[in-house]
Amino acid sequence: MNPFSEEMNELFEKMASGEGSRAERTLFFQELESNPTLKNLYESHLSFRKGIEVVTRRTALRSEISGYHQQVKTTKRKSSNPISISRWAIAASVSALIAVGAWFGYDWEQRQKANGEQLLARSTPKSRHSNHPIRTIESGEEVVSGTAFAVNAEGYFLTSSHVIGNKSEVELENPEDGSIYAARVVARDTKYDLVLVKIDDESFIGLSRIPYPIKSSKVNLAQDVFTLGFPKEDIVFGEGSVSSLNGYNGDTLKYQVSVPVNPGQSGSPLFDEQGNVIGVISAKNGSADGVSYAVKSSHMIHFFENALEDPIQLPKSNSVSGLSKTKKIQKIKSFIFIVRA
Amino acid sequence: MSLNDLDGLRSGDRFITGKIYAEHYSLIERMIVAQKGDSDDAKDIYQEAFIIFLDNIQNPSFELTVKISTYLYAIAKNLWYKRLKVIGQQGFVIDDRFADELPDVTENVDRFLEEEQKYDDLYSGLDQLGEPCKSVLTDFFFQKLSMEAIANKHGYTNADNAKTQKYKCLMRLKKLVAVGQKRRNG
C-alpha cells in the first residue's frame, strides 16, 4: 500500500496553500487532530515543501548572482598581503626550476597489475627535484606523482593510495601559482585505492569554497563524464562516458569509463556533466586503449565514513552546475593539485 | 539606499539586484584582502553574504535597521571570521569603519548556515533529480506557477497530467533525500 498517494498529495497541497472551502478545511484539520499518523504525514509534507522552496530559491539566487559578478570590477590581489607575497615568491622560483628540467629523463614506469589493470602513478627520477624548496629527497630516490583534488577547504585532498604507497608524508603542488605544500597522510584504504592527505604547512591559508559535491547517487551507463589531471605538468582535460558500471573482471568497486588517461592521472576526480564528483581515476586497461577505471564515489563516501576518526565536512553543494563547460572547468581546476611522494 | 531599492530586491528585480550587488563588492573585497584573503575569497564570501541578505529580506518580520552596505559588511565579516577560524587563523581589524554601527548578525548567519546543513540532502536530491522533474518542482514550489501554466510550459496535455507528473517527481525527490539521509546515518 502506498502510504502517500497522489490524492493525499493533492489534498495536502490544497490545504497547505490555503485553498478549499471552509467546510473542507474544517473537516481536514479536525481529522488531523484525531489522527496522529495523518498529522505526522502532513507536517513532514509541510517541512518538505518548505525545504524545496528554500533550496530552489537559494539555488536560483546563486546562479543569478554569479551573473552579477561579471559586472563587478575586481581589484587584483593586493601585494600588501604578506601571505600572498610568499606564495607568489614560491611560484616564481618553482616555475623557473621546472622550465629548466622539464621532460628529460622521464621514465614511465608502468606497473602492470597481474589482472590487466595498469595503475596510473607516474614516476620520475629524483634529479629534477633536487633543489626542492620544501622536502629533501635522497638522490636516486624515485618520485611518484599523481593527481589530488580538494575535498575540504581546510586542505584535505584525496588521491589514489597506490600513488603514495606506504609513505606518510607527501607534497602537494598548486600548479596555478606553483606553491608547494607539505602534506601528511590522514587516512588510507588500499582496498578502495584511496588516501586522504592534509596540507600541513604554515604557508597554506586554506581554499575557497569547493564548487563540486561528491555524489554517490546512481551513475548511468553511457552518461557523459570528464576528468582533470596531471599526466604532465599542465592540467589535462579528458572526456568520455561511463562504458560499464563495473570495472575490470566485474570489479564492483570501480566504473569503466571511456576517458583516455595516462600515468600521473591516478587520483584525478571523475565528474559528471554537472560537475559532481562521481569517482576517482585509478587505473587503465593495459591492453586496450580508452578503457579506464575509476573508484566509485559511493566507496569514497564509505571511505570517509570509516577510515576517519574525526569526520571532515565534505563539499555539499554544486556551484558550477549552471555554468558552461569551459567556465565549469576553469572554476574546478583550482582545486586540483599535483601530488608527489 | 532608497526604499525602492529594497522593494526591488524583495520582488527580485534583476536590474536593481545586480546594481546593488555591484555597488558593494569592493567594500567587502577590501576588508577580506586586508585580512589574509584574496579576491577569490572575497568573491566567495560576498556571494554567500549577498544570498543571506536576500534571504533575510524575504522574511516579513525582518527589519533592516542599517544601510545595505553596513549589513552586507557585517555578514561578510562574520562569514570570513568563521572561515579564518576553520583554517586556524584569526581575523584582525584594520580600519574597521563600521565597528560602532555594525549590527549583530550572528543569529541571521547561523540560522542560514544551519538551514544549509539541514537541507544538504535536499540540495543533492534536487541536483540529482534531472529534468523535467527539477523544473516542474521549481516552477511549482518556487515560481509558484499554476498547474495550468506548468502543463503549458512542459507540454502536458492538461493540468491533471501535470499534477501526476509533479507527484511522481516529488516522490522521486523524497526517495533521493531518504537515500541521502540513510547514507549519512550509516
ipTM: 0.86
CA distance A309 to A318: 26
Q: What is the pLDDT of residues B150-179, one digit of tens each?
A: 888 888 888 888 888 889 999 999 888 888
pLDDT reading at A77 higher than 60:
no
Backbone angles phi, psi at A73, to 5 degrees: -85, 115
- Report the pLDDT value the prediction gives residue B183, as an integer from 0 to 100: 77
- Write the residue in B115, B127, B137 that is nearest to A274 by C-beta: B127
Grade residue A103 by pLDDT with cuts at 50, 70 and 90.
Answer: very low
CATH of the domain at B58: 1.10.1740
Check whether residue B150 and residue B69 sit in a common domain: no
Q: What is the pLDDT of residues A27-64, one digit of tens each?
A: 899 988 898 888 888 888 888 888 988 888 888 888 88
Cβ of A66 within 8 Å of Cβ of B47? The answer is: yes
> Does B96 map to a domain?
yes
Cβ of A316 within 8 Å of Cβ of B14? The answer is: no
pLDDT reading at A138 higher than 60:
no
From the number of C-beta atoms within 10 Å of its C-beta (0-12, 13-18, 19+), residue A134 rates as middle
Grade residue A335 by pLDDT with cuts at 50, 70 and 90.
Answer: very high
- Three-class SS state of A248: helix
Check whether residue B53 and residue B141 sit in a common domain: no
Domain A75-341 matching CATH 2.140.10.10: the answer reads no
More confident residue, A224 or B41: A224
More confident residue, A77 or B76: B76
- Among B60, B76, B103, the domain-final residue is B103
- Report the pLDDT value the prediction gives residue A190, as an integer from 0 to 100: 81
The three cell numbers of residue A119 are 595503475
Cβ of B86 within 8 Å of Cβ of A154? The answer is: yes
A202 in contact with B, Cβ within 8 Å: no
More confident residue, A88 or A140: A140
- Residue B126 with chain A: CB contacts under 8 Å: 52, 55-56, 59
> Does B60 map to a domain?
yes
A75 in contact with B, Cβ within 8 Å: yes
More confident residue, A196 or B11: A196
Distances (CA, A) of B67 to B6, B30, B73, B103: 11, 18, 10, 10
Biggest distance spanned by C-alpha atoms of chain B = 62
A67 in contact with B, Cβ within 8 Å: yes
Check whether residue B78 and residue B135 sit in a common domain: no
Grade residue A134 by pLDDT with cuts at 50, 70 and 90.
Answer: very low
Q: Which residue has the cell 558552461?
A: A324
Grade residue A273 by pLDDT with cuts at 50, 70 and 90.
Answer: very high
More confident residue, A210 or B13: A210
Cβ of B174 within 8 Å of Cβ of A48? The answer is: yes
A7 in contact with B, Cβ within 8 Å: no
- Among B34, B68, B103, the domain-final residue is B103
- Residue A48 with chain B: CB contacts under 8 Å: 174, 177
> Does B112 map to a domain?
no
More confident residue, B89 or A135: B89
- Rounded mean pLDDT, A314-334: 89
- Report the pLDDT value the prediction gives residue A130, as an integer from 0 to 100: 29
Percent of residues, chain B, with pLDDT higher than 90: 12
Buried b / exposed e along B117-136 (16+ C-beta atoms within 10 A): eebbbbbbbbbbbeebbbbb
Percent of residues, chain A, with pLDDT higher than 90: 27
Check whether residue B93 and residue B138 sit in a common domain: no
Cβ contacts of residue B183 below 8 Å, gap of 6+?
A: A216, A301
Cβ of A276 within 8 Å of Cβ of B127? The answer is: yes
Grade residue B116 by pLDDT with cuts at 50, 70 and 90.
Answer: confident
Chain A residue with CA closest to B20: the answer is: A68
pLDDT reading at B76 higher than 90:
yes
N- to C-terminal Cα separation, chain B: 49
CATH of the domain at B133: 1.10.10
Q: Are A276 and A154 spatial neighbours (Cβ–Cβ below 8 Å)?
A: no
Grade residue B99 by pLDDT with cuts at 50, 70 and 90.
Answer: low
The three cell numbers of residue A241 are 562516458
Grade residue A73 by pLDDT with cuts at 50, 70 and 90.
Answer: low
Grade residue B50 by pLDDT with cuts at 50, 70 and 90.
Answer: very high
A223 in contact with B, Cβ within 8 Å: no
From the number of C-beta atoms within 10 Å of its C-beta (0-12, 13-18, 19+), residue A173 rates as buried
A166 in contact with B, Cβ within 8 Å: no
Q: What does pLDDT average to over chain A?
A: 77
- Residue A153 with chain B: CB contacts under 8 Å: 83, 86-87
Grade residue A182 by pLDDT with cuts at 50, 70 and 90.
Answer: very high
- Report the pLDDT value the prediction gives residue A338, as an integer from 0 to 100: 93
Check whether residue B84 and residue B43 sit in a common domain: yes
pLDDT reading at A76 higher than 70:
no
Cβ of B173 within 8 Å of Cβ of A52? The answer is: yes
Q: Which residue has the cell 509533479?
A: B166
CA distance B80 to B90: 10
Cβ of A217 within 8 Å of Cβ of B126? The answer is: no
For chain A positions 302-331, those within 8 Å of chain B (CB to CB) are 305, 316-318, 321
Q: Residue A271: which of A237, A225, A230, A235 has the closest Cα?
A: A225
Check whether residue B147 and residue B89 sit in a common domain: no
Check whether residue B78 and residue B130 sit in a common domain: no
Cβ of A316 within 8 Å of Cβ of B124? The answer is: yes
Cβ of B137 within 8 Å of Cβ of A56? The answer is: yes
> Does B38 map to a domain?
yes
Grade residue A132 by pLDDT with cuts at 50, 70 and 90.
Answer: very low
Cβ of B87 within 8 Å of Cβ of A155? The answer is: yes
- Which residue range is the domain that position B95 belongs to? 3-103
Q: Which of A7-16, B8-17, B38-47 is least confident?
A: B8-17
Cβ of A321 within 8 Å of Cβ of B127? The answer is: yes
> Does B113 map to a domain?
no
The three cell numbers of residue B83 are 572561515
Q: What is the pLDDT of residues A282-321, one digit of tens each?
A: 888 877 777 899 999 988 988 888 877 777 888 888 889 8
More confident residue, A170 or A233: A170
Cβ contacts of residue A186 below 8 Å, gap of 6+?
A: A156, A196, A197, A198, A308
Cβ of A205 within 8 Å of Cβ of B26? The answer is: no
pLDDT reading at A198 higher than 60:
yes
Check whether residue B133 and residue B99 sit in a common domain: no
Q: How many domains does the structure of chain B reveal?
A: 2
Q: Are A187 and A307 spatial neighbours (Cβ–Cβ below 8 Å)?
A: yes
> A41, A45, A47, A72: which to substitute to probe chain B, counting the most B Cβ within 10 Å?
A72
pLDDT reading at B96 higher than 80:
no
Chain A residue with CA closest to B40: the answer is: A208
Check whether residue B19 and residue B60 sit in a common domain: yes
- Among B54, B71, B103, the domain-final residue is B103
